[in-house]
């Protein structure tokens, strides 16, 4: 209904999981990379928990779409079945043709035979179980027994349990400890914070075709954050109805009143009214409050002359810090101030998994991640952080390079002072391009971010696919915040640049790159210089 009004090609906030709208911010991207690593390296049972509407089904769908061809997946959406029915359901999904009346031993034998054949052919089989907290304990025990199917070196069947926080409570039970001890990795999808919600809203809008400036003000974002509790399903419902309310008023800016209208139309937006006390209790409570206040006033007047200095706090109590509350995703030690890398053992640069995403004493290697929001094509639009580059180094061909990805390019090494930062170096290259009268008029914008530490990590990944000499950067200010935009290449005409976008490797297309005019960038840089 409001698509044309906002320049959209599809609904931006449908609650049906669509992998084209996967948002890798709020730790979703690192968890996805960690899951891919665990499955492709035979890590056994993995658990993912999160509140209702936190994006577990979207993550599951995205994971299935990202797995390599040698992984066969089995999906159980309704696991609240008896143990023998669960075995039959798995056999049915694998296409084994088992008679529905076959006994448990026959089904188990057929499953083991199929898994052995797949393993011999170099194939892996992974079982995804949604709503695992609803699975009866006897069925959970049957699933645990399936994890015992293995060769000398590998598990024949891997499992990923998706569930609500109640699943964590179930796994703490003593009678289920055998399953708990077989869980190799445990992840949790946390609610989105205010900044992540802002990025999420604009990422979904741009993924749906929107190309204008930001339409969700900080006040509106805070409203949505408070009402949604950071859960993506609620965010989608509120944002969809707020867009409809703005469309009905023929405005392109979302106002707080539009969010209020959306909340009035949502079940979770209807806060329960407090129960009223009977009249006699209300009078008694009022009298008690009045009496307490009067006593405090009289004490202050009479005892003021005998007032003593306040007692010193006990040094033992003052020195005792509050115990930190652990979270499922806080296994990695905190990042020291001024650094972007958590302390700990060295992690190979080519490793495909974000170490900080792993809740395990034996974490997988680190992966690249960031909050994904498509770059704003309008000069007046607000810059948004860059999307994760989702593919691992092993998933894409890597051209041979003659220098490390973060090295200063040979073409600019002579003009760069010793130890010159690569970002500053490529900003200088962009300035020279903008001042040139012979520069080609178009380029491709890959991403925009306000986090330079993350940008350096992005550059290492980008350099695996394109020459660093062809990367340009410029600084700007969007709504009072500094940002750095990354562009690649120069082109004689817009169509040539557009054709090149189609041929970019998938990791470089993750943030939906688009064609930029050099003249437009000059104007944006000039405006930012004036506003500083």
- Per-residue model confidence as pLDDT tens digits over 297-327: 444 444 443 344 444 433 333 333 444 433 3
Over residues 428-442, the pLDDT tens digits come to: 989 999 998 888 999
Q: Where does 27-189 sit in CATH, by number?
A: 3.40.50.300
Nearest one of 423, 447, 422, 425 to 368, comparing CA atoms? 447
- Domain range list for the chain: 3-11+193-269, 27-189, 405-531
Predicted local confidence at residue 512, as pLDDT: 80
Over residues 202-211, the pLDDT tens digits come to: 999 999 999 8
- Cβ-contact 7, 211 below 8 angstroms: yes
∠ CA 136-149-47, nearest 5°, is 50
**Cα–Cα separations (whole angstroms), residue 342 to 31, 120, 278, 465, 475:** 17, 40, 57, 26, 27
The pLDDT of residue 390 is above 50: no
| 77-110 exposure pattern, b = at least 16 Cβ within 10 A, e = fewer | eebebebbebbbbbbeebeeebeeebeeeebbeb
- Cβ-contact 472, 426 below 8 angstroms: yes
**How much of the chain exceeds pLDDT 90, in percent?**
27
Predicted local confidence at residue 28, as pLDDT: 92
What percent helix, strand, coil does the chain show, rounded to 5? 45, 15, 45
User: Can you tell me which residue has the tokens 């810090």?
Assistant: 321
Q: Is the pTM of this model over 0.75?
A: no
Higher pLDDT, 532 or 76: 76
DSSP per-residue string spanning 105-164: HHHHHHHHHHHHHHHHTT-EEEEEESSGGGS-HHHHHHHHHHTT-B-SSSBSEEEEEEE-
Lowest mean pLDDT among 106-110, 132-136, 280-284, 405-409: 405-409
- Cβ-contact 386, 459 below 8 angstroms: no
DSSP 229: T
Is residue 288 very low, low, confident or very high in pLDDT (cuts 50, 70, 90)? low
DSSP, collapsed to helix, strand or coil, labels residue 277 as: coil
Higher pLDDT, 373 or 65: 65
Predicted local confidence at residue 478, as pLDDT: 62
Cα end-to-end distance, the chain, whole Å: 40
- Supply φ then ψ for residue 76, to 5 degrees: -110, 110
The pLDDT of residue 503 is above 60: yes
Lowest mean pLDDT among 35-44, 70-79, 410-419, 436-445: 410-419
Over residues 335-386, the pLDDT tens digits come to: 444 344 344 444 343 333 333 333 333 333 333 333 333 333 433 333 333 3
- Cβ-contact 390, 507 below 8 angstroms: yes
| CATH class of this structure's domain 3-11+193-269 | mainly alpha
Number of neighbours of residue 527 by Cβ within 10 angstroms: 13
DSSP, collapsed to helix, strand or coil, labels residue 230 as: coil
Q: Which residues are bridge partners to 46 per DSSP? A: 160, 185
Over residues 273-282, the pLDDT tens digits come to: 444 444 444 4
Nearest one of 524, 194, 201, 189 to 372, comparing CA atoms? 201
The pLDDT of residue 10 is above 60: yes
| CA 25/CA 28 separation, integer angstroms | 6
The CATH topology of domain 405-531 is Alpha-Beta Plaits (3.30.70)
- Supply φ then ψ for residue 224, to 5 degrees: -65, -40
Residue 177: partners with Cβ closer than 8 Å, 6 or more residues away? none
Over residues 462-499, the pLDDT tens digits come to: 877 788 888 999 998 765 678 888 998 999 988 888 88
Q: Average pLDDT of the chain?
A: 74
Predicted local confidence at residue 476, as pLDDT: 85
């Amino acid at each position: 209904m409001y698509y044309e009004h906002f320049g959209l090609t599809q609904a931006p906030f449908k609650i049906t999981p669509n992998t084209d709208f996967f948002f890798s911010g709020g730790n979703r991207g690192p968890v996805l990379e960690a899951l891919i690593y665990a499955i492709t390296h035979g890590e056994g049972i993995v658990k993912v928990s999160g509140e209702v509407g936190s994006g577990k089904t979207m993550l599951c769908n995205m994971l299935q779409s990202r797995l390599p061809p040698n992984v066969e997946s089995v999906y159980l959406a309704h696991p609240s079945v008896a143990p023998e029915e669960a075995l039959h359901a798995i056999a049915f999904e694998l296409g084994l043709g088992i008679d529905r009346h076959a006994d448990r031993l026959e089904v188990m034998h057929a499953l083991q035979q199929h898994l052995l054949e797949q393993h011999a052919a170099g194939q892996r089989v992974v079982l995804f179980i949604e709503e695992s907290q609803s699975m009866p304990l006897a069925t959970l025990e049957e699933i645990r027994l399936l994890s015992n199917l293995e060769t000398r070196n590998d598990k024949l069947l891997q499992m990923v349990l998706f569930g609500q926080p109640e699943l964590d409570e179930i796994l703490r039970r003593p009678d289920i400890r055998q399953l708990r001890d077989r869980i190799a990795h445990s992840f949790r999808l946390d609610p989105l914070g205010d900044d992540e919600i802002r990025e999420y809203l604009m990422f979904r809008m741009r993924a749906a075709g929107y190309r204008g400036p930001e339409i969700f003000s900080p006040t509106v974002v805070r409203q949505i954050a408070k009402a949604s509790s950071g859960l993506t399903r609620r965010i989608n419902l509120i944002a969809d109805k707020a867009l409809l309310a703005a469309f009905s008023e023929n405005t392109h800016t979302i106002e707080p009143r539009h969010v209020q209208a959306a909340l009035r139309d949502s079940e979770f937006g209807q806060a329960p009214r407090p129960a009223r006390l009977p009249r006699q209790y209300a009078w008694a409570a009022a009298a008690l409050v009045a009496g307490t206040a009067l006593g405090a006033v009289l004490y202050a007047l009479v005892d003021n002359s005998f007032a003593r200095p306040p007692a010193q706090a006990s040094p033992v109590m003052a020195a005792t810090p509050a115990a930190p509350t652990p979270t499922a995703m806080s296994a990695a030690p905190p990042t020291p101030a001024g650094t972007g890398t958590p302390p700990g053992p060295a992690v190979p640069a080519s490793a495909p998994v974000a170490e900080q995403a792993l809740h395990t004493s034996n974490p997988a290697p680190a992966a690249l991640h960031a909050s994904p929001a498509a770059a704003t094509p309008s000069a007046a639009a607000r810059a948004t952080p860059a999307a994760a580059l989702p593919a691992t180094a092993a998933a894409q061909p890597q051209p041979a390079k003659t220098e490390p990805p973060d090295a200063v390019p040979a073409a600019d090494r002579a003009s760069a002072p010793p130890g010159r930062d690569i970002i500053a170096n490529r900003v200088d290259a962009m300035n020279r391009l903008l001042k040139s009268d012979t520069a080609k008029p178009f380029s491709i914008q890959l991403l925009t971010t306000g986090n330079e530490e993350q940008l350096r990590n992005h550059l290492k990944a980008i350099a695996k696919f394109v020459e660093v000499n062809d990367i340009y950067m410029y600084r700007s200010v969007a709504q009072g915040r500094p940002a750095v935009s990354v562009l690649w290449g120069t082109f004689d005409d817009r169509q040539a640049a557009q054709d090149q976008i189609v041929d970019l490797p998938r990791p470089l297309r993750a943030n939906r790159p688009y064609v930029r005019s050099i003249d437009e960038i000059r104007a944006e840089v000039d405006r930012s210089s004036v506003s500083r």
